[in-house]
A = this chain, B = another copy of it.
Amino acid sequence: MIANEIKEKLRAIVGAENVLDSNIDRFGYSYDSSFVPLVPANNPDVVVRPLTTEEVSQVMALANEHGIPVTPRGAASGRTGGSIPLAGGISLCLDRMTKILEFDEKNMMITVEPGVRTVDLYNFCAAKGLFYPPDPASWKFSTIGGNVAENAGGMRAVKYGVTSNYVMGLEVVLADGTVIQTGGKAIKNVTGYNLTQLFTGSEGTLGIITKVLLRLIPMPKARNTLQLMFYSLDDACATIHKMLQSGVVPAAAELMDKMSIQAVARHRKLDIDQAVEACVIIEIDGDNKEELDKQAEQIATIARGFNVAEVRIAQSKQEEEDIWAIRRGLSSAVGAMAPNRLGEDISVPRNEFPEMVRRIRKISEKYNLPIAVYGHAGDGNLHPSVLCDLSNPEEAERVHKAVDEIFAEALAVGGTLSGEHGIGITKRPYTISALGEGGIRVHKAIKQALDPKGILNPGKIW
C-alpha cells in the first residue's frame, strides 16, 4: 500500500480531486476490456489523473523515488489487460489530457494529448478534409495514447496501415520523470535511433506518452462497399486472395464465418440463408468514382469465378451502413453466444489466411469447442473467438489447450501472436515462443535500461 505521506504528495501535484483511493474507485480501475478475471489483487492503491506533462513528470519522479508501480491507462478498452495494475501502485489515468494542441494544415499533421478519443480526432480532421485512418473496433471510446501504446490497428489497415504508420513524433515521460521528445515534422529523419517506433507499441512499459504528433492524409473523395456471400469459406478466402493478387488494394476486406454470421443474424434479427458459410465485406475508396465502379465490378467478377452466392454493391449511404452493421455488431453478437468468449488476435502472412482458418476449424473439432472466426482477411489478421463456459473446469482445460494450439499454429505458418491487441497479460505465456530466448533477452535489456526499477506497467509482455 502507498503511504499517506505519498498520497499527500500526489494530491499536491495533481490536485486532491484527481487522486482517487476509495474502494469503489480502486475497483473501477482494476479491469479493462479483456477477459482477465476480476480479482481484488488487481486494484491499484490509488488512481492519479494528471492534466499536464509537468504533472506526469512529477508523479513519475515520485513513484520512481519510492519504487511504486505505475500502470498507465487511457479508456481501458484494451483486449489483453495492458492497463490492469497487476502490482497495485498507481493507475495513471490520462483521460484529462484531451487537448488538440496544434493542427498544421500545411504539413498535414496534428499534435494531440494522449486522452483525445480516436473518434474525436477522426472527426476533427475529417471536418478539415483530412483523414486519420486507424480505426480500432473501440475507436468510439479508445484514446490516442492507448492506440499508440498498443499500436492499434483496425479494418482500414489493409490499405492504410496501423497507428504506428501515422506517428511522426512523441513526447514521453520516462520512468524517472525525464521528459523527452522523439521524431518530428521532418518526413525523412534518421537522426539517432527510431525511438518513436520503439515507444509505439511498447504497452506502457518504457514510458508515459504525453504528446503525439500524427501525420494525416487527404480524405478519399469516393467509396464503394460490397457484400459477398459464399457457400464455402474456401471460396471466400480464394476471392480475397485473387483480388489482392490482381492489384486491387481495398480500404477494408473483412471475412466472417458461418458461426459469426448466424450470431449477428440472431442478434440483429436479420434473415440470412443457412447455406451461407462465409460473408466478405469489402470497401474500396479513392478519388475517382468511375474508377471505383470499375473496381467493384472487377471484384464481383472474381467472386463469380468462385461460386459466389450473392453480390451486393451498396447503392446508397444507407445500404453501406446496413452492410457494415453486420460487421460492427459482430463482437457483441458473438460474445452473447456463450458465458465466456476468448477473442484472439493472431496475424499470419497474407497468403496463409485460408490455411490458418482451416487449422482453426480442425482445432475446434478436436476440442469440441465452437470457435467463431472473423477478421481482417486483407492483411492476414484473424480474430478467432472460442465460445465456452469457463466455470466448467473440464471445459476450461480444453479451452486452454485449444488456445495454445491456435498460437502454435499461427507461429507455425510464419505468423505472430498479436496483430493489433498487444500482448499485455493474456498472451504473456506465449511470448517466449514468438520472440525466442535471445529476443526476450533484448526486450528485458531495453526495459532495464529505460526503467531500472521496473516500475512501469510491471507484469506485462513477457
Residues of A within 8 A of B (CB): 104, 106-107, 109, 150-151, 153, 157-158, 162, 164, 174, 178-182, 184-195, 197-198, 200-202, 206, 218, 245, 247, 287-288, 291, 347-351, 376, 379-381, 414-423, 427, 431, 434-436, 438-439, 441-443, 445-446, 448-450, 461-462
Contact = CB atoms under 8 A, between A and B. Distances in A.
A28 B186 CA distance: 36
B417 A185 contact: no
B186 A107 contact: no
B187 A347 contact: yes
Contact of A200 (B194, B287, B434): B194
Given A186-B347, A198-B197, A439-B181, A434 B191 contact: yes
Nearest to A349: B185
A187 B350 contact: yes
Contacts of A179: 438
Contacts of A421: 190
8 contacts: A109-B349, A151-B194, A164-B194, A178-B441, A186-B414, A188-B420, A191-B416, A194-B198
Most B Cβ at <10 Å: residue of A106, A174, A187, A194 = A187
Contacts of A202: 193
A380 B188 contact: yes
Given A187-B349, A191-B416, 17 more contacts: A106-B351, A107-B350, A158-B187, A184-B414, A185-B348, A186-B380, A186-B381, A187-B380, A187-B381, A188-B381, A189-B419, A190-B201, A191-B434, A194-B194, A194-B198, A442-B450, A445-B450
Contacts of A194: 151, 164, 194, 197-198, 200-201
B351 A180 contact: no
A153 B190 CA distance: 9
Contact of A184 (B198, B291, B415): B415
Nearest to A109: B349
A194 B461 CA distance: 13
Given A188-B162, A190-B421, A349 B107 contact: yes
Contacts of A422: 190
A192 B432 CA distance: 10
A438 B171 CA distance: 11
Nearest to A153: B188
A234 to B, nearest CB: 16
B191 A418 contact: yes
Contact of A415 (B186, B351, B449): B186
B414 A185 contact: yes
A285 to B, nearest CB: 14
Contacts of A450: 442, 445-446
Most B Cβ at <10 Å: residue of A162, A190, A434 = A190
A349 B195 CA distance: 19
Contacts of A245: 106
A416 B106 CA distance: 18
A111 B117 CA distance: 39
B247 A438 contact: no
A195 B347 contact: no
B193 A443 contact: yes
Nearest to A189: B416
A149 to B, nearest CB: 10
Nearest to A187: B379
A409 to B, nearest CB: 13
A192 B445 contact: no
A194 B199 CA distance: 8
B182 A439 contact: yes
Given A186-B419, A247-B218, A449-B448, A438 B174 contact: yes
